[in-house]
Amino acid sequence: MARKVTTFFAIALATGIACTPATAQDTANKVAANTDWSVFVEDSPKQCWVVSAPKQVVNTQDGRVVAVTRGDIYMFVSFWPESDQLGEVSFMGGYPFADGSSVSLTVGDSEFELFTDGEIAWAASPEDDRRIATAMKRGVEAKVVGLSSRGTTTTDTFSLMGFTAAYEDALQRCGS
């Protein structure tokens, strides 16, 4: 898990997501944009990832919509050919998740559980990554529900328009 956290923050720095979403869209590592998903490539070591920001964000506490301050929110699928990790699904919530909590990811009729560590959530296994990616290729939107360390429930909705094209582009660039 430590490798995933380190690698994730390397992606964050490489794409500029520590800045604003607009800055992330202009980085030199961006090689393609497919509707709502963008493809990024790093050459040394070879890494590819697709990323999108949510189209809708709803924060609730005790059943009421509340205004909260969150950092950048992104969903990623990453490809690391040197370590044979292809299609690793992750979510950056923009806040620290509640200790011991998990994140729910729903695509159509399919539901998945992501484990959390700090502000990041991942699928538990490469098999889960493949199942999630397959659902995302077939889906229209993905809903991610998490619980912050302050007790706020967040629901982030991502469009999947362009996901398949972005995924296939990144896989072609980093699949071997």
Identify the CATH number of the domain in which residue 90 sits.
2.60.40.1880
CA distance 53 to 60: 19
pLDDT of residue 83: 79
List C-alpha distances in Å: 148 to 32, 66, 120, 126. Answer: 32, 13, 11, 26
Given a cut of 50, is residue 21 above it in pLDDT?
Answer: no
Counted domains in the chain = 1
pLDDT of residue 46: 85
User: pLDDT for 38-69, tens place per residue?
Assistant: 999 988 788 899 999 999 999 999 999 999 99
User: pLDDT for 135-151, tens place per residue?
Assistant: 999 999 999 999 999 99
The tokens describing 15, both together, are 């794409």
Domain with 133, as residue range(s), is 2-174
Query: 63's torsion region: left (phi>0), alpha (psi -120 to 50) or beta?
Result: left
Q: Which residues contact 103 (CB under 8 A, 6 or more apart)?
A: 91, 93, 97, 113, 114, 115, 116, 121, 144, 145, 146
CA distance 130 to 86: 9
Q: Are 103 and 97 in contact, with CB atoms under 8 Å apart? A: yes
CA distance 6 to 108: 31
